[in-house]
Amino acid sequence: MIDVFVSLGSNLGNKKKNIEKAVKKIGAIENTKIEKISSLVKTKPHQAPGPNYLNGVIKIATTLSAEKLLDSLKKIETELGRKRSFKNAPRTIDLDILLYGNKKIKTKNLIVPHPKLKIRDFFKKSLLEIEPNLKLV
Ligand code: AMP
């Protein structure tokens, strides 16, 4: 099992419900279990106008590869009605892999640690809330 941190964000519809539904679906991914859930925080949208976000971070344990996990997360985004209309458009749910164990990944589809980890305040705050000993270098 590898420990993975996933961020959840919603700025459309019932944001809290969207996040709760996503957590439930993530918990139902094969060989994956939810270990910790951060509190949810309101944030302003970045790089685009639009409604505020509700954001949280979860810690999961999985045997899936990072690519397979990303596929499952994208499927959940689609199931929850996310439409990819334009870059940074409001979304019912946005799921990102922040950390995948201590692996560094750089492929066409996936960059881990997440490139915005250092610049989005809530990523760091929420990660440290659920994993106070996490080393964010
Ligand atoms: P977004 O619009 O924020 O959902 O991001 C769109 C694309 O970012 C996805 O299709 C992914 O292939 C890519 N991506 C790169 N790195 C990551 C990551 N760490 N977590 C999630 N998506 C990622």
Average of per-residue pLDDT values in the chain: 93
pLDDT tens for residues 49-102? 889 999 999 999 999 999 999 999 999 999 998 776 666 666 899 999 999 999
Q: Can you tell me which atom of ligand 1 is nearest the CA of 88?
A: 2
CB-based contacts of 43, cutoff 8 Å, min separation 6: 9, 52, 53, 54, 55, 120, 121, 122
Q: Which of 111, 112, 117, 123 to mutate to test the pocket of ligand 1 (most atoms within 8 A of CB)?
A: 111
pTM for the full predicted model: 0.93
Residue 70 to residue 35: CA distance in whole angstroms: 18
Residue nearest to atom 11 of ligand 1 (CA): 109
User: What is the mean pLDDT of the segment spanning 105-120?
Assistant: 93
Q: Is ligand 1 within 6 A of the CB of residue 9?
A: no
Residue 35 neighbours by CB distance under 10 Å? 14
Percent of the chain exceeding pLDDT 90 equals: 79
Q: Which are the catalytic amino acids?
A: 82, 91, 94, 96
Q: State CA 74 to chain mean position distance.
A: 11
Residue nearest to atom 5 of ligand 1 (CA): 96
Torsion of CA 87, 89, 94, 97, to 10 degrees: 20
